[in-house]
């Protein structure tokens, strides 16, 4: 069920029935010269909506902004801080719980460390405060690696590469432009830099040339299966 189109009474019926909620999280972040900045949001939302075709779940409107680190100086990235994200997630969990939803999945299309730790910290805070809440935090990229590793040709593919380009070719083919060269960031290990983009000019991490739509379909559908299982695990 797509929450943005539901009425107050329909939403009330689902909260009374104990239906879980997925809150999809994305970013506004550069994804190379060939993918739109909403790529993370569109994947998270696409996977969440497909999981809703497999199991009973309400899919909340997505959170479009997230925390981005190494791409923050590239054109197109609009980031929020980990602190802001934590506050936002605290408020969202509190409001969903206030409305009667006590089974919540925070599902992220972005895998950044600070971003994911903000989601996890808010979730931990919420279950400490109210142990009757059932919460899960999942990252879309982890679901891909867990369910579809054997389909991937590019070791270490991560950002705007084989995985994300394939998935966008399946979900939103008209949004994909001519794919750039394979690229990997050369950011010196352990360093925290003011200008990471100097070591990562194209903003691609992996090989978009290895992408195809058929693989994208499989990567989306397998993640949707895995997400549906996470939803069901909150009902046990």
Residue ranges that bind Zn ion, judged by CB under 5 A: 39-40
Closer residue to Zn ion in complex, CB, 19/108: 108
Alpha-carbon distance of 123 to 73, in angstroms, equals 29
Least distance from Zn ion to the Cβ atom of residue 96, Å: 25
Closer residue to Zn ion in complex, CB, 89/204: 204
Closer residue to Zn ion in complex, CB, 41/122: 41
Closer residue to Zn ion in complex, CB, 14/40: 40
Cβ-based neighbour number of residue 236 at 10 Å? 5
Least distance from Zn ion to the Cβ atom of residue 208, Å: 12
Least distance from Zn ion to the Cβ atom of residue 68, Å: 10
Alpha-carbon distance of 68 to 84, in angstroms, equals 12
**For strand 134-139 and strand 103-108, is the pairing parallel, antiparallel, or unpaired?**
parallel
Closer residue to Zn ion in complex, CB, 18/158: 158
Least distance from Zn ion to the Cβ atom of residue 155, Å: 18
Least distance from Zn ion to the Cβ atom of residue 43, Å: 7
Alpha-carbon distance of 167 to 37, in angstroms, equals 14
Least distance from Zn ion to the Cβ atom of residue 158, Å: 8
Report the residue number whose CB is nearest to Zn ion: 40
- Both tokens of 101, joined, read 């939803």
Closer residue to Zn ion in complex, CB, 38/97: 38
């Amino acid at each position: 069920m797509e929450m943005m189109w539901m009425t107050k009474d329909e939403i009330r019926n689902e909260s009374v029935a104990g239906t879980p909620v997925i809150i999809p999280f994305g970013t506004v972040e550069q994804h190379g010269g060939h993918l739109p900045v909403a790529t993370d949001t569109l994947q998270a939302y696409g996977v969440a909506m497909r999981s809703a075709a497999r199991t009973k779940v309400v899919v909340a409107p997505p959170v479009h902004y997230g925390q981005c680190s190494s791409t923050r100086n590239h054109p197109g990235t609009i980031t929020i801080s980990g602190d802001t994200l934590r506050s936002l997630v605290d408020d969202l969990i509190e409001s969903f719980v206030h409305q009667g939803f006590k089974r919540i999945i925070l599902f992220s299309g972005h895998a950044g460390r600070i971003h994911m730790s903000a989601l996890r910290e808010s979730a931990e805070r919420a279950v400490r405060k109210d142990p009757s809440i059932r919460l899960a935090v999942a990252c879309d990229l982890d679901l891909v690696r867990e369910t579809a590793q054997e389909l991937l040709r590019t070791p270490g593919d991560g950002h705007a590469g084989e995985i994300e380009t394939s998935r966008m070719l399946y979900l939103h083919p008209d949004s994909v432009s001519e794919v750039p060269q394979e690229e990997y960031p050369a950011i010196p290990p352990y360093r925290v830099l003011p200008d990471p983009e100097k070591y990562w000019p194209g903003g691609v991490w992996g090989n978009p040339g290895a992408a195809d739509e058929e693989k994208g379909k499989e990567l989306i559908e397998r993640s949707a299966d895995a997400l549906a299982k996470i939803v069901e695990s909150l009902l046990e």
